[in-house]
């Protein structure tokens, strides 16, 4: 269980950290996503910081389990709200969302199983 916990946590952290960088450097993909959802482009860096906080929180959770649990829970909430934003505008392009959401759920699940059972 320890190996799965470490591997999934690190993978989720790298995945969300890379998404955070994409948002923070002002790449065109997040801008297009914000435009499609009718959100201000000024929110891009805010979303990037949320993703960065989640990624760092997952890594911090390796030392402080509650921090990892909170970070993973926050990422699951973030992606749940992202799904609602997609559905609100009628977007059915959810493959990327599904991968990120599944990774966040997996990180939360292994965290809870490893530390809290």
For residue 98, pLDDT beyond 90: yes
For residue 47, pLDDT beyond 90: yes
For residue 116, pLDDT beyond 90: no
Packing angle of the helix pair 65-88, 95-116 (nearest 10 deg): 160
Cα 13 to Cα 8: distance, rounded to the nearest angstrom: 8
The pLDDT tens digits for 57-88 are 999 999 999 999 999 999 999 999 999 999 99
Phi, psi of 62 (to 5 degrees): -65, -30
pLDDT band at 117 (very low <50, low <70, confident <90, very high): confident
Phi-psi region of 40 (alpha: psi -120 to 50; beta: other; left: phi over 0): beta
For residue 31, pLDDT beyond 90: yes
Cα 39 to Cα 65: distance, rounded to the nearest angstrom: 34
Domains of the chain, by residue range, sit at 2-116
């Amino acid at each position: 269980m320890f190996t799965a916990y470490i591997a999934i946590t690190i993978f989720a952290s790298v995945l969300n950290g890379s998404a955070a960088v994409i948002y923070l450097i002002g790449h065109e993909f997040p801008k297009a996503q914000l435009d499609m959802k009718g959100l201000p482009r000024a929110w891009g860096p805010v979303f990037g910081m949320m993703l960065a906080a989640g990624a760092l929180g997952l890594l911090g959770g390796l030392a402080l389990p509650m921090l990892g649990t909170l970070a993973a829970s926050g990422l699951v909430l973030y992606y749940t709200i992202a799904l609602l934003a997609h559905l609100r505008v009628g977007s059915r392009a959810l493959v990327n969302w599904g991968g990120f959401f599944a990774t966040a759920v997996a990180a939360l699940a292994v965290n809870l199983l490893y530390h809290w059972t």
